[in-house]
Every structure is written in structure tokens, then in C-alpha cells.
Amino acid sequence: MVARRVFIVFILPVIFSIIVGSAVLFDVLQQPDRELNMWPMSYSEGGSYSEGVPHSSIEIIGLSKQYTTTEPVEIQVKIDDSSFSCGDLYITIYSSGKSDAITQGGFFDQCFESGSNLVPVGDEFSKIISIPGSYDVVVDMVSKQLQNISTKGTFTIK
């Protein structure tokens, strides 16, 4: 009697769940433009950092290797990808090797002016960092279609 209850309470629901889940997944995968990617090998289109080397479609302009504690870090970003003609730009400065942000700038609804592919448009990123050390600047551009491209640069404050 106990074995029958164990079967009904624990094993039978698992079997039904697998059958119903398989049927639903089969039905969803029959729809156009649907696929099952169990082991994705990349994160997103253009979403990788390029350690010290500019990404082919995003580049930090004006970043020096070294600044003083009174000199502002002023940069612009060059985008060479036509799918990123409008989007949100995020610039974050971290202490090297740490995940805590020192400062951040967000520039929303950035659309390129005719003939220029530099952002931020009509604004500037300028921050003074008064603590000496090594820092990473991470630049992310998120398009209206939610595609993301990023790059990273390193500098030192003396």
C-alpha cells in the first residue's frame, strides 16, 4: 500500500511533467524562427571587451595613459556600426581589479549627427579622480534593439 502511494504522489507527477513539458517544447520549436541553443558559445553580438585593443565597432577617443589628480578624464566614443545609430551610452570608471564603480555617466537617446559617429552628442564625459591609482574605463552602447557593444581602457592617476 505504501509503495502505491509513493508511486502516485512522487513518481507519477514527474512522469507527467516530463511528458507535458516535452510536448510544449516540441510545439514551441515548430514555430518559425525558433531554435533550442543548449550550449551558447558567445554572449551577445559585439558584447565582448577588448583588453587594450579597440573593438572593431567601438573605440574610446581621447583616453590618455596617465592623468594627474587635478586633471579631468575627458573621453568620447566612436561607433563604427550602423545598427548603433541611436542608443544609450554608459561610461563607468572602476578601480583596476575591483567591481565597485568610482564614477559613471549615462547618456540616453544618443543619435549620431550627420557626418559624425562620436558620442556623447551635445554633452561631454569629464570626471576628476583625486585618488592616485590604476583605473579601468568601461564603455557600453546599447541600441534601441537592445544590442550591446562594449570596450575597455586602462589609465593611471598620479
DSSP 43-65: SSTT----BSS-BTTEEEES--S
pLDDT at 57 (0 to 100): 82
CA distances from 16 to 7, 27, 42 (A): 12, 17, 34
pLDDT at 79 (0 to 100): 85
Q: Which CATH number fits domain 58-157: 1.20.120.340, 3.30.1490.20, 2.60.40.1930, 3.30.420.10?
A: 2.60.40.1930
Distance of alpha carbon 110 from alpha carbon 88, whole angstroms: 6
Q: Burial of 27 by CB count in 10 Å (0-12 exposed, 13-18 middle, 19+ buried)?
A: exposed
Distance of alpha carbon 119 from alpha carbon 89, whole angstroms: 8
* pLDDT tens digits along 62-118: 999 999 999 999 998 888 877 777 888 999 999 988 888 889 999 888 887 666 778
pLDDT at 56 (0 to 100): 56
* pLDDT tens digits along 10-47: 889 999 999 999 999 888 888 776 766 665 544 333 44
Distance of alpha carbon 140 from alpha carbon 102, whole angstroms: 16
**Quick one: how far is CA 71 from the chain centroid?**
28
Q: Where are the domains of the chain?
A: 1-41, 58-157
pLDDT at 52 (0 to 100): 43
